[in-house]
Structure 1
């Protein structure tokens, strides 16, 4: 058979995907208002009426005239200020990066284009898509088809399947529109304002400098604790201090991720065990290295420069 026999696992994974698509996923007979809904048209009509009542728009908050004026203003502004470009045009490289992030099993929307089709498009088609997105940005308009979606009802967990109120709607938009969202999220800073991309960038920069400290910890010619402490403050602490205006907006979980970088450095510099409790680690960092916890350091900087 050879040293590296081919595995049959990928083949059976594909087969099992097809096998998993059973009729059990279909919505059974529903009971609504003491009536049985057995046909697809009856179920669809009921769900349509139910969703229209649940998710009815608030007409008081909608002004079609104002909305149209804003859309036209944005479009005319970018047409008359062609040199005023907020973002660089989308490149083919960005198209390829975004398309790799799409899930192959994603369900198609009204355009009936599946993700696996997008993943296998030739270069000429990708260039056309790039032109489509760039033109959409410049004209400040998107196709109407991207604003529509197929609605499918998914049963809630541990709920009777014959009760129509125990279903929640899932919108299946056009895959090409989802593709555009992938481009937006990777091109702009952070659409959801989670600051996760910034945290990842800070971690990447700090970890690369932390590797330098590890090298200088060589037993034969390693630097002393005082020098390593100053080196940490210069190489890594400076990055955190420079970012403190944004760090103050981070969630607690992201602050912990930043704190983990400092904890690693303290363990290396003071030669502490990996399982050293956090409270002991923080006390040692302050007593021997004069390092505050990241959250305390942020408060200190805010108090010093902002006067909070």
Structure 2
């Protein structure tokens, strides 16, 4: 009992010290941005994300890393959703035909930028959006190296990216990923793979080039009004908030007109 009481006192003292430090840091902040930055630093969780031992179907405890890796692989990478036979070939063919028609259309040729070489401004703009302190992919290249790249490295990357577009190929390392498993919050135990979620750490060079191509595609798709006007997801300056506002407005309009409003959600 004495040890438990001492532990409780020490814990309460540590919490008080942490609260005092948080208040001091927040009160000393010069602006809202600095307040938020200090708050995130002081409340950031440093959680150990090691995968704990699993229980197999027979109730055996699996401690070996190879055994845990096998269960995670079977759970996340060998499911029926990855079976090629489950894909809708007709739908795939239809989408590919639309894609080919778009890429070969006169509008794309006239726009020019879709097939132009990547410019230095595009590359530097993509680099500027990289997140610092991100974990590297299989090529072990850190974002800090690219963010602080000098003229020589920028020129080399520009040559590699344009060569990739010219030949229609990308390095195999850009297609690979280091998969990490993070614990889901609020789980009662972590002895089952469903208590984890996988994240893929991909090549920073691959992500840099992807952003350039994505920006070009987004610009064309938006300027040509290819997407449905009501699509909110995966678009700049659009969000679920817009969708909720539109739904709310439709309900209010129907109410004012003494009509019913139907919604199909999945």
Q: TM-score, normalised by structure 1?
A: 0.49
**1:186 paired to 2:215:** yes
CA distance in 1 between counterparts of 2:170 and 2:135 reads 21
Q: Does residue 1:27 correspond to 2:51, yes or no? A: yes
Pairwise CA distance, 1:131: 0.8
**Superposition pairs for residues 67-78 of structure 1, below 5 Å?**
none
Work out whether residues 52 and 190 of structure 2, in 8 Å CA contact, stay in contact via their aligned partners in 1: yes
Change (3 A) 1:188 1:252: closer
Match of 2:161 among 127, 133, 139: 133
Describe the SS at the equivalent of 1:129.
Answer: helix
TM-score by length of 2: 0.56
Distance 1:103 1:152 in 2: 18
Residues 247 and 164 (structure 1 numbering): CA distance in 2 closer, same or farther, change over 3 Å? closer
Aligned pairs for 1:221-240 (under 5 A) are none
Residue 107 (structure 1) aligns with:
135
Over 4 Å off, 4+ runs: 83-86, 252-257
How do 1:79-94 residues align onto structure 2 when only pairs under 5 Å count?
86-94=114-122
The residue that corresponds to 1:262 in the other structure is none
Cα displacement (A) at 1:53: 2.3
Pairing partner for 1:38 from 42, 47, 63: 63
- Any conservation in 1 of the 2:49–2:183 contact (CA below 8 Å)? no
Aligned residues: 183
The two structures, once aligned, show a CA RMSD in angstroms of: 4.2
Unaligned runs of 5+ in 2: 1-27, 90-99, 101-108, 233-237, 243-251, 254-266
Superposed displacement of residue 169, structure 1? 1.9
CA distance in structure 2 between the aligned counterparts of 1:248 and 1:144, rounded to whole angstroms: 32
Deviations 1:126-157 (A, max 9, x none): 11111111111111111111111111122334
- Looking at both structures, which has the greater relative contact order when contacts are Cα pairs under 8 Å and sequence separation is at least 6? 2
User: Unpaired segments of 5 or more residues in structure 1?
Assistant: 64-73, 75-82, 199-244, 258-277, 280-308
Tell me if 1:169 matches 2:198: yes
Q: Which is higher, the Rg of structure 1 or of structure 2?
A: 1
Secondary structure (helix, strand or coil) at the match of 1:132 reads helix
